[in-house]
Structure 1
């Protein structure tokens, strides 16, 4: 009883004390806005957040001087900029249609905005920067490039181009398979329904976001008429950078010559010793070349490895290049808009040596492809062309070891879904993955 009284007394005193205490004042909390710094947007080595960026493309009649003059820079300074930059970049080489950018500082208090830098992009990945804010300096650089390996498989229902196109795959891949890798092994105009393929290839991305196209094809398995045709990419000459495709037994798949010097072109006129030509009043004049028609500016490729023996402009030939491939064969490429190679250059099969034009005697844009055998012009389509150089014995073992893991990877790519024999879908089935 006594203990209870003590406890009650303590509780009573405590309660009174609590009632008499003034409650602490509650200070309202203010919401504090946390402002994050803007994320850097990097391009051409600049943080674009710090600049006003004016983008455009080179138009007909544009020049470096006219572009800067339109943007409040006077000719004395323009001349000074051009002189300082000429050792890095020739400002006369601006090409119509190519993009450029002018960079203006956001910190400038001037009422008339004057650019501080001019950036020109001759290709998707390469660019030239000319700075002229304080001191003038120019430099060339390239955007970062990422290569992504991908795999794709498909079943032919009509053509390989339609099979790949319906899934948004670059037509460049079709061309590499048909015109480069299997040009002499499989006739892609005679594919059968149910033929199928697996490809390991690499796509190129510029700045991690801009698609730069198919970079190369690592390996292919093409099943045509139920027969497997393997192709593996392998470098046979590191000094000259020569790359070929070989099957699983190390046999070279290609011939020494490409079938055509231009991709995606049509033959507009064949080799014909009795042809009548409108340009010469329909008189009989031997046409000792094969004409491949394509738009002006289309790249022209060397059809085989060799050394440039002529590169000049002459009469009806216009701009042309001639290449000696060995003691037997030479090729010649006429009517170029512009030549890219000079006498003495070594070129590899597929290298760009110039661009389609209309120089010399021609009624339309094309390249006249001439083929020489033992000093005499012949029809390349009627020649039994030699196979490409076989792989050396010293490299064969290295090649066979190199392809082991690649072949395993290729063989384990599935056709999704796996189709029972003789049962094929109406639409092509394609599997694409990124690694």
Structure 2
């Protein structure tokens, strides 16, 4: 029987092959469709995320570009910008040991790319940073010792300081006047900054005061820097065995203190002619210290001199204006209207005499003054305040000066080597009016000194001088309070001296008695 569905073998094989290919193609087509759908979904999601990130990134970039490139962000704007940025907290699992997972790293990188970091410009004032702090001493100090013949202009030139600075400094006037009278050996200091610009000058005026000249924005300014000085009171007692000078040195007084002592009592005592062996003195003076170092002796604050049994006492008083003077314990000034002797002399070569044989004129005539022998060039002082009524030269007097003191008194000074005042000039007591010489009728350097009262010559050494003026009434209470302790100290020193003297006298008497022994009894 013939089969109608029969097909040759080749046809059957081809159909099977076609069927297998069709089945395989369907599967690939289906797989491709699924993959396509997934790709569309993924593409849509990633596009949305990218658009979101791009939008945020674009917004941030617009904010940045809107700001001027040179404008500095203030602290408030920086804080506001930080608050606008989205925060992202990444919490690490406890078992990660502080390390991020790969997913967290990817997310962090994506966040960093979306929101890049940018530096905030900072504005720090230069005044807040002091470069000098890097160096311990940014300024340089130059010390210059003043040499003989040096001037401030010459020193400035050697230090390469512009003349303009010298002119500006000298324009300060009186405060810097000391710079025009610099003494050789004095040290002046210059301070310069990093740029070698002069910023300060230091010049010592004395042991405690230093002139400081500072350069500021407004120019040069001066001031006086004072070191705090502490004082200690010291007492010295002495007895006159020869001259005041030698006896004072033996007691431990300096030359300056001896001169002060002579100046205090010089109105009452002639220390060349009046003192006697056995006279005694007590001096209370200051010792000055600064920062624990001894500066030197200060002024005498109290003193007593016993001359030929008569006691003279003086205490220093400083009034409310800072004026220092010496007074008796009763309040009378030690400074009389006239000096007993107007110079420091060696001896009196000729006294006040009605008749004297003149060594040059070779005849007898009155010597109506006193001749004080002193070395040539010794300063001569005005005996009191007054007015110069004559200053000139003639062949008898040589260089001479006459001074009128009020309506009653006139003093005359003869044989100067050189005069220092002119006619009509007013002078103060103690002011130098000339120098000892031997001009005119003179055999040796000396001062011929005359003292006239109402036109009549009087002995300058014995004439009664005007009464000393008492202390001002408005200062009486202050004087009593401030000098009470000084007077008490003089009383104490006087009692101590008398006690020591009494002990010495008793010891000497006992020694004398012990040396006088009774003679042995007769056999």
Q: Verify same fold: TM over 0.5.
A: yes
SS at match of 1:412: helix
- The within-5 A match list for 1:54-203 is 54-59=143-148, 61-74=149-162, 76-77=163-164, 80-81=167-168, 84-86=171-173, 88-90=175-177, 93-97=180-184, 99-105=186-192, 108=194, 116-121=199-204, 123-125=206-208, 127-131=210-214, 136-139=219-222, 141=224, 143-144=226-227, 145-166=229-250, 168-181=252-265, 184-185=268-269, 190-193=275-278, 195-203=279-287
Q: Once the 2 structures are TM-superposed, how far is the Cα of residue 218 of structure 1 from its aligned partner?
A: 2.0
**Residues 101, 118 of structure 1: 8 Å contact kept:** yes
- TM-score between both structures, scaled by the size of structure 2: 0.49
How large is the Cα RMSD of the aligned pairs? 5.6
Distance 1:81 1:408, change over 3 A: closer
Separation in structure 1 between the aligned mates of residue 155 and residue 390 of structure 2, nearest angstrom? 33
1:411 aligns with 2:498: no
How much does 1:69 deviate? 0.9
Shift of 1:73: 2.3
- The 5 A counterparts of 1:8-407 are 52-59=141-148, 61-74=149-162, 76-77=163-164, 80-81=167-168, 84-86=171-173, 88-90=175-177, 93-97=180-184, 99-105=186-192, 108=194, 116-121=199-204, 123-125=206-208, 127-131=210-214, 136-139=219-222, 141=224, 143-144=226-227, 145-166=229-250, 168-181=252-265, 184-185=268-269, 190-193=275-278, 195-204=279-288, 209=293, 211=295, 213-220=297-304, 222-223=305-306, 227=309, 229-233=311-315, 243-246=325-328, 256-262=337-343, 264-266=344-346, 293=374, 301-304=381-384, 306-307=385-386, 309-310=387-388, 324-331=404-411, 343=425, 347=428, 349-350=429-430, 353-354=431-432, 371=450, 373=452, 381=460, 384-389=463-468, 391=470, 405-407=485-487
The Cα shift of 1:133 comes to: 7.9
Take 2:269 and 2:333, find their aligned partners in 1: how far apart are those partners?
10
Which of the pair is proportionally richer in strand? 1
Q: Write out per-residue CA displacement over residues 148-185 of structure 1, whole angstroms, 9 at most, x where no aligned residue.
A: 32222234555543343245422233233334326535
Question: What SS does the corresponding residue of 2:505 show, helix, strand or coil?
Answer: coil
Q: Is the 2:391–2:402 contact (alpha carbons within 8 Å) kept by the matching residues of 1? A: no
Partner of 1:44: none
Under a length normalisation based on structure 1, what TM-score does the superposition of the two structures give? 0.56
Aligned residues: 350
**By percentage of residues, which structure has more helix?**
2
Q: For residues 282-326 of structure 1, what are the alpha-carbon distances to aligned partners after superposition, in whole Å with 9 as ceiling and x for unaligned? A: xxxx99896775697x8765433x24x349997789999875433
Q: Which residue of 2 aligns with 1:33?
A: none
Q: Label 1:173 to 1:242 Cα distance change in 2 as closer, same or farther (>3 A).
A: closer
CA contact (8 A) 1:370 1:377 kept: no
User: Which protein is bigger by CA-based radius of gyration?
Assistant: 2
Structure 1 position 64, deviation (Å) = 1.5
What stretches of structure 1 of length at least 5 have no aligned partner? 1-47, 278-285, 426-435
User: Contact 1:318 / 1:361 at 8 angstroms: preserved in 2?
Assistant: yes
Larger relative contact order (Cα-Cα within 8 Å, sequence gap ≥ 6): 1
Could you report, residue by residue, the CA deviation over 1:361-401 in whole angstroms, capped at 9, with x for unpaired residues?
Answer: 799xx996855525869576355141432648979996778
Kept after mapping to 2: 8 A contact 1:178/1:188? no
CA 1:174–1:66 in 2, change beyond 3 Å: closer, same or farther?
same
Unmatched runs of 5 consecutive residues or more in structure 2? 1-136, 362-366, 509-523
Q: Distance in 1 between matches of 2:294 and 2:270?
A: 33
The 8 Å contact of residues 201 and 212 in structure 2, kept in 1 or not, is answered as: yes
